[in-house]
Structure 1
Amino acid sequence: MKIWINKTIYTDPSDYFSDALVFNMLDENPQSNLKTNLEEIWRRFSKQNIDSLYEDFLVIAVSVFATDKRVSRSDIKVSNIHDNWTRQLEICVPVLNIDKWLLVKETLEEALGFLSGDFWTLSFRQTYERYRNTDYRKKDDQINNDFDCVSLFSGGLDSFSGAIKLLREGKKVCFVGCMEYNTLNNRILELYELLHREYVNVKSNIIVFSTKPGAPVNIDENIKSRYTENTSRSRSLLFIAGALAVASIIGSGTPIFIPENGFIGLNIPLTPSRMGSCSTRTTHVFFLSKLNEVLSLLDIPHKIENFYAYRTKGEIVDEIKDSTTFLEGASRTISCSHPTLGRIDGAAIPINCGYCFPCLIRRASLHKIGYKNDEYLDVYNNEYKLSIDFIKKFKNPDSGRAKDLKATLMALHKYLVNDDADYYKKEMIKLGGLSPSDIDKFNKVYVNSMEEIKNMIISQALANDLLLLDYIGVGVHNV
């Protein structure tokens, strides 16, 4: 699939890209099908623009995100095999620094391929047009650049916990959020206000930007609904590009933190049929290493770090469980893969479903510390309680609500009956991207995370359905 991106002004696709899907991010948002407010980043700092290299990075990240969200994985055929996952994507992006981007093309393609599980081919074409370099009208909303670091703030439990950690340490933090829908923006700002209220004497601020890709402009109206994709692994690249833009304004060497537990980024398939699916690779050591390699080759003086790389989610929340802000705000964080699905059952969105893979890890972490204030969709619909009945009712292997729970229980069963102490190390070696020392560290993360999940499932079984214990191979007498 070929994709042609226009920035600021419209240009017709080249001959090679004549059959490409077209996305426009023009100076006027109403004329664009790729709507974004990237300019919010530099205008908040009273800037008319940012360094051209960082503008390029943002445009590339937006282009990748639009492609990821609008090219469906359904019925994808690669090497004569239908895997409903791997896509072949060729994308042409206008850049201001074409020589530099040609230098990192292959490294960036490798990083993108690892992140999204697709085959990416990047083409660049020269442009001299700057993106929305006009004055900011909201003078009362402007901030200065006196910060120690930038930290991603998604509204999730890990980034919220990481924010508490940084502010406790007295770090002056500029948080960066990226929202896909308005209610998420409201939740991000609500959580930031909780942080600011407790740590009012520690300087912080937050910038939230958005990117909303519509259907390609050159597609017939009656088939536009086909051009949508539920997964969006590349959203993390967009997030990071925004953080880099902020860091560039703050100053050379400003670190960028991505607080996320080490288990979710490993992405070891829960079952053989779930290669590629399930969790993100945003903070996988290999992806961050490749991305930092790209930054180094571009002479960008910032590094992306994850100080939770070798922690389980339960260990993360255990560190800050005594924080007033954590106790009040943890239940308001959003970990869910589909946080707007609750509107079907009359719930106010966003809300955590409680049964997708990220929610199961969330429940396990909060169970570890005895946190009781969390709410899931089973409050609104009793059919969503974790149970064998839930699995039977929503058992569709592709679209059923229970697919993540079923896969997690199968993985947990394998973990409990496995007698090979090096099994997960071997799985990590197969997936690649980890050094021997990292494999040892992440093996511990994986085992400890499975223990957290096991304890949560046992608790749910005792509350909802003892048959869950049989499913994972733990008899009632062993509980």
Structure 2
Amino acid sequence: MDGDAPPSEHIVTCFAPRADGRGDELLRFDIDGKAKAVELKIGHMRKSVVAALPDIAIDLIELAAFVYAIDSSSSRGGLTVRQMGAKWHRRFRVTLPVRKLQTWCDPALKRELEETLMFLSGDRFSFTFTQMEEAEFVPERYFDFDEEDAWQPDTVLMFSGGLDSFAGALEEIIERKNRVALISHFSATKIAPIQRDLYRHMVQRLGPNALRHFPMRVQLRRGTNAEGTHRARSFLFAALGMATSVAFGRDRVAFYENGIVSLNLPPVSNVVGTRATRTTHPQTLQRFESLFSQIFSTPLKVDNPFFWRTKTEVVETIARLGMADQIAFTRSCADVHNQTKQHPHCGRCSQCIDRRFAVLAAGLQVHDPEEAYRIDLMTG
């Protein structure tokens, strides 16, 4: 671990879910005696699909939401390298109620879970699971239901609204002739309209039977978000995707991310370990696959079909499939909260720089105007 100081230790007690006044499900927990909470809502599901979800899937969704919120509730020390060196790593001792206690108490599964989160976040999670009271089994409250129909996906795809997941969706639908379930997680209100508009554009071009969108809102209550790095967020994203895949009787979740971003090699010498995000790192996806297979007691797959592609090749895929005019509607910027209609991209984060170089290299800059970037790559 970085620095000489031991990781800070935090005691976390999670509580059984309850509905708040608006009908959204509120997951409450205490960290070091301070009350925190996170809201969870999953849209556009069918009651028949949700009814078929095993209890272990609901447990997984709740666990992942709690982990995301816990990760966000304790600062890693601020932006300076000196502080981060001492405080980057943390230890969380978590007590959490579950429905399927015997499954979660399996030593091999607990070890896999804790090691996966350690690799992903750099933090040590230690879990003590307790039996949830049967009267507290309220999974339907998490969902907004659509009308019943017979639509079924061939593929479940994680959809962020960025270039890579957009290109992946197009390739699945147009080239592989698959029906695709797009799984989106958002916590910032600026992201939801981007994902929704891209989905509508695809429906207009490809037809309503080709795809469905399942937006999932996981929002930290005020006072809960003390740390902005959110290294555990991809565990939440993957858990939501796999639960949806299982609900539809599928056994695979696809993350579409170009290999350069997936590996996320450190740009400078002090960005080591989990300071460089491991969201879709090959080892992360392999660990997700192993963990989910243990949880559901069946072989499951989590993969990245774009691992051997560059960002330029991803952009070229969009053009090749006849959707280059939609590039401008995708979003890559990491600085979500400062996005504006005039400048949806900051132009200085690594994601913006990767995007700008890729679009220029593909010769498609007419579809990604420089005016969209607050700071232009070429002029500064």
* Fold-level similarity (TM above 0.5): yes
Alpha-carbon separation, structure 2, partners of 1:274 and 1:232: 16
Query: How well do the aligned residues superpose, as a CA RMSD in angstroms?
Result: 3.0
* 1:354 counterpart (347, 359, 365): 347
2:3 is the counterpart of 1:7: no
Matched to 1:268, the amino acid is L
Distance 1:143 1:258, change over 3 A: farther
2:300 is the counterpart of 1:302: yes
Quote how far apart the aligned CAs of 1:151 are: 0.5
Distance 1:101 1:350, change over 3 A: farther
Match of 1:65 in 2: 68
Distance 1:193 1:266, change over 3 A: same
Quote how far apart the aligned CAs of 1:21 are: 4.2
Question: 1:42·1:246 contact (CA, 8 Å) conserved in 2?
Answer: no
Match of 1:111 in 2: 116
Matching of residues 236-275 of structure 1 within 5 Å: 236-251=234-249, 253-275=250-272
Alpha-carbon separation, structure 2, partners of 1:350 and 1:20: 41
For normalisation by structure 2, the TM-score amounts to 0.83
* 2:226 counterpart (217, 225, 228): 228
The unaligned stretches of length 5 or more in structure 2 are 1-9, 19-25
Match of 2:4 in 1: none
Quote how far apart the aligned CAs of 1:75 are: 6.0
2:281 is the counterpart of 1:284: yes
* 2:103 counterpart (100, 104, 110): 100
SS at match of 1:7: coil
Quote how far apart the aligned CAs of 1:376 are: 5.8
Distance 1:350 1:195, change over 3 A: farther
Alpha-carbon separation, structure 2, partners of 1:375 and 1:309: 27
Match of 1:52 in 2: 55
Q: 1:358-401, CA deviations, whole angstroms, 9 ceiling, x for partnerless residues?
A: 11111122122111122467755xxx334xxxxxxxxxxxxxxx
The structure showing larger relative contact order (alpha-carbon pairs under 8 Å, at least 6 residues apart) is: 2
* 1:171 counterpart (140, 157, 178): 178
Distance 1:292 1:183, change over 3 A: same
Distance 1:208 1:22, change over 3 A: same
Alpha-carbon separation, structure 2, partners of 1:112 and 1:135: 24
SS at match of 2:213: strand
SS at match of 1:83: helix
SS at match of 2:219: strand
Question: 1:155·1:187 contact (CA, 8 Å) conserved in 2?
Answer: yes
Q: Highest CA radius of gyration, 1 or 2?
A: 1
Alpha-carbon separation, structure 2, partners of 1:153 and 1:44: 23
> Quick check: 200-209 or 126-135, which moved more?
126-135
Matched to 1:111, the amino acid is T
Question: 1:36·1:212 contact (CA, 8 Å) conserved in 2?
Answer: yes
Alpha-carbon separation, structure 2, partners of 1:267 and 1:316: 16
Distance 1:139 1:59, change over 3 A: closer
* 1:156 counterpart (157, 162, 165): 162
Question: 1:352·1:376 contact (CA, 8 Å) conserved in 2?
Answer: no
Match of 1:335 in 2: 332
SS at match of 1:274: coil
2:39 is the counterpart of 1:35: yes
* 1:374 counterpart (342, 352, 368): 368
Matched to 1:177, the amino acid is S
Matched to 1:149, the amino acid is T
Quote how far apart the aligned CAs of 1:350 are: 8.0
Alpha-carbon separation, structure 2, partners of 1:377 and 1:339: 17
Question: 1:170·1:202 contact (CA, 8 Å) conserved in 2?
Answer: no
Alpha-carbon separation, structure 1, partners of 2:348 and 2:162: 16
Quote how far apart the aligned CAs of 1:269 are: 1.4
Q: 1:184-238, CA deviations, whole angstroms, 9 ceiling, x for partnerless residues?
A: 11110100111112211752111101011225xxxxxxxx48x511111222111
Higher helix share: 1
Higher strand share: 2
SS at match of 2:15: strand
SS at match of 1:324: coil
Alpha-carbon separation, structure 1, partners of 2:232 and 2:38: 15
Question: 1:48·1:135 contact (CA, 8 Å) conserved in 2?
Answer: no
| Length, aligned pairs only | 354
Distance 1:289 1:350, change over 3 A: farther
SS at match of 2:212: strand
The unaligned stretches of length 5 or more in structure 1 are 24-32, 216-223, 387-459, 466-479
Q: 1:123-161, CA deviations, whole angstroms, 9 ceiling, x for partnerless residues?
A: 211113323436978554x45452211001111111001
2:94 is the counterpart of 1:85: no
Alpha-carbon separation, structure 1, partners of 2:27 and 2:181: 36
* 2:196 counterpart (189, 192, 213): 189
Matching of residues 412-423 of structure 1 within 5 Å: none
SS at match of 1:133: helix
Alpha-carbon separation, structure 1, partners of 2:28 and 2:183: 34
